[in-house]
Structure 1
């Protein structure tokens, strides 16, 4: 079975659901609070419940798809996500919105991890790295388009329309999967179900030292990324006086940098060591974090420094995240769904945990965020070291190809 352009395009579509479902309604937080008589903290918790759902959905969806196959669980997840989006649009209270956001995140994470597992089923070696980088690169359009689309919706309608838009995208995703995505996991490659089988598979996956190393590479990078997402508005607007339009342009430029880096990494797959590409990104991310910390401690976080550091950090993520995930998948070819599930779980737990920590210092200091940027880069480097040498990585690729 071949990996077609239709399959890749559909998986790109699936990976876009998280940034779209989040970024499209973030500009409307004040309106949500006013209409639902909720506090700012309660509205922020709708993000937390979404992230928790995303993490759990990926943790559970991967192993289930290893047992049941990819296509049917994927279709069920998209249907559930669409229904949850409709509930979000019709919600009468903040409590219902929190619950619906959890279900939306759970089903969206379920769909994302199965989409990734389909790619792992159908590609291997440098081609797997190339395809995952292309998916990350093209999917990087969503974080750019999300806030802009949400702002446009607020100009012509209310915040509920953003959830109707996500529901419409869910219907489009359902059609795309029905048309383009075949069952990629033959019956003979499936694993028995049950909690015991899941525990066994998880234990086998986590016993691979190199897999755990690449898991740390990707999870730490995700944490640094969401430290930026959670606090960049305060740093650029509250501390430096940048206008909302200026901030949106800068946010889009940074997302574009990440997209370009991921596409460049895709072109380098098979030509340059993937570990070397990751290390380049890690060094750049560490430099950005150190510069940001120095600026926050001694220079009042000047605007130009913050803009440059954010651009370097985001661009570096395009070199680290997709490549780390691809090498992690190569280490567990016998459990691609479980491997993808644990990877997604760690990434979204990092996102949900780091985001509130980054804001602990309030609106007028960038020190906590800068410390998290530095810490994320250092932990990511430690993960790369734990994963071992490039020679071992080459052996993993050969073992992966044989297993297929």
Structure 2
């Protein structure tokens, strides 16, 4: 995979806000490692989903039980991020990250060797838990060493380059099924776990000095969570990204039925369309990264929300009265996915910027909300069966509306204004690197 070029105006030195952090630098290697960490969830999911029928046959189980392994993975991802962030605020970043990668690698090996669906289900939960733990620490590392426009830019780069995983995952999974067994996909994830451990040892220093760590214990965790959730600006952006994530997984859960079952698209054509939509999301995130510090981040989010709302309304009209024709579905899905590239990473970046004193807890709650939304919305979107797109269209439309409400709440909290979008100003960043246009 070729690495996307980095913006020429990015200074890769960590902002000298605290003397003890001067040695922690935001290097290309560190960013590449965090991209690697964020790719584990889509790779572990998208390589595996095409093999559901083969898994059911090999393990002598039902399709529902196989689908449950996906749900337990999402639950593990959510809990891993919720717990991993605060633990890293207490213990530091590097050691907990390495531990999570080791556990994820072992769980992937157990999945590859699983003799029964019960073993597979438990191993998938552990795999998701450790993967979520690693992902949230990766984001916290970036928040430790970046500020202002640099933070927004880097998180968009991570989301954009990491967005290649949903493109590559299904293609690699399909190739594996053509050449070998579904178990090979889990062996591949285990190999990637070893590779991530090595790159972490080489490229990721400890970014949270002991003097800036929070005391441990349940009371500290609850206190930090209460502080973060008491920040109305943070909560608003949390809703922005969480609602967008729900709409995204409404698409992921139902697009195969809409395009293949209802419209007769071949599996190969569906994979190509899925990859094209993921590419649109990646391109949008990279464009947003280039615009960080020059264009209001809230305006970029609003642009994505308007596009997502338009796509949702088009899908709803098509589902209710037109039978969801293929051209309408293809265009609407592409617009919806591209819009997520403006909404999810930017919403997450502004949420992190709102609570710099608790980066681990803030990142943990973001990950928890987003993956709970994914795990909850995905099965709801399919309640109507495989011959209607109405539930999916309703969820996509509702997701855009709720995301807009979150942006309004965040804007009001940040500016103290009663208007929809208060006047935007790019204030100079305190890090001396650039401005953050909220």
Structures share fold, TM-score greater than 0.5: yes
Tell whether 2:131 aligns with 1:128: no
Aligned pair partner of 1:61 in 56, 81, 84: 84
Tell whether 2:422 aligns with 1:379: no
The Cα offsets for residues 219-239 of structure 1, whole Å up to 9 and x where unpaired, read as 000000000000000000000
Q: In 2, distance between residues paired with 1:273 and 1:324?
A: 12
Cα offset for 1:391? 4.6
Tell whether 2:177 aligns with 1:154: yes
Cα offset for 1:400? 7.5
Q: In 2, distance between residues paired with 1:78 and 1:401?
A: 32
User: Which residue in 2 is equivalent to 1:243?
Assistant: 266
User: Which residue in 2 is equivalent to 1:139?
Assistant: 162
Q: Is the 8 A contact 1:259 1:315 kept in 2?
A: yes
Aligned pair partner of 2:327 in 284, 293, 304: 304
Q: Is the 8 A contact 1:140 1:256 kept in 2?
A: yes
Tell whether 2:218 aligns with 1:218: no
Higher helix share: 1
| Alignment RMSD | 1.5
Aligned pair partner of 1:227 in 250, 273, 280: 250
Q: In 2, distance between residues paired with 1:318 and 1:399?
A: 24
Cα offset for 1:83? 0.2
Q: In 1, distance between residues paired with 2:366 and 2:197?
A: 24
Query: How many residue pairs get matched?
Result: 402
Q: Is the 8 A contact 1:333 1:400 kept in 2?
A: no
Q: In 2, distance between residues paired with 1:155 and 1:368?
A: 33
Tell whether 2:310 aligns with 1:287: yes
The Cα offsets for residues 63-94 of structure 1, whole Å up to 9 and x where unpaired, read as 00000000000000000000000000000100
The Cα offsets for residues 118-137 of structure 1, whole Å up to 9 and x where unpaired, read as 00001010110000000000
User: Which residue in 2 is equivalent to 1:208?
Assistant: 231
Matches within 5 A, 1:4-403: 4-389=27-412, 391=415
Q: In 2, distance between residues paired with 1:370 and 1:82?
A: 37
Cα offset for 1:188? 1.1
Q: Is the 8 A contact 2:281 2:338 kept in 1?
A: yes
Q: In 2, distance between residues paired with 1:240 and 1:292?
A: 14
Gaps of 5+ in 2: 1-23, 417-421, 433-438
| Secondary structure at 1:377 match in 2 | helix
Distance 1:53 1:293, change over 3 A: same
Q: In 1, distance between residues paired with 2:202 and 2:425?
A: 36
Q: Is the 8 A contact 2:93 2:208 kept in 1?
A: yes
Q: Is the 8 A contact 1:124 1:397 kept in 2?
A: no
Q: Is the 8 A contact 1:12 1:136 kept in 2?
A: yes
Distance 1:398 1:69, change over 3 A: farther
Distance 1:72 1:397, change over 3 A: farther
The Cα offsets for residues 193-248 of structure 1, whole Å up to 9 and x where unpaired, read as 00000000000000000100000000000000000000000000000000000000
Distance 1:329 1:395, change over 3 A: farther
Q: Normalising by structure 1, what TM-score?
A: 0.97
Q: Is the 8 A contact 2:239 2:406 kept in 1?
A: yes
Q: Normalising by structure 2, what TM-score?
A: 0.90
Q: In 1, distance between residues paired with 2:45 and 2:266?
A: 22
Q: In 2, distance between residues paired with 1:381 and 1:318?
A: 15
Q: Is the 8 A contact 1:55 1:345 kept in 2?
A: yes
Q: Is the 8 A contact 2:293 2:426 kept in 1?
A: no
User: Which residue in 1 is equivalent to 2:6?
Assistant: none
The Cα offsets for residues 135-188 of structure 1, whole Å up to 9 and x where unpaired, read as 000001100000000011111110000000000000000000000000000111
User: Which residue in 1 is equivalent to 2:26?
Assistant: 3
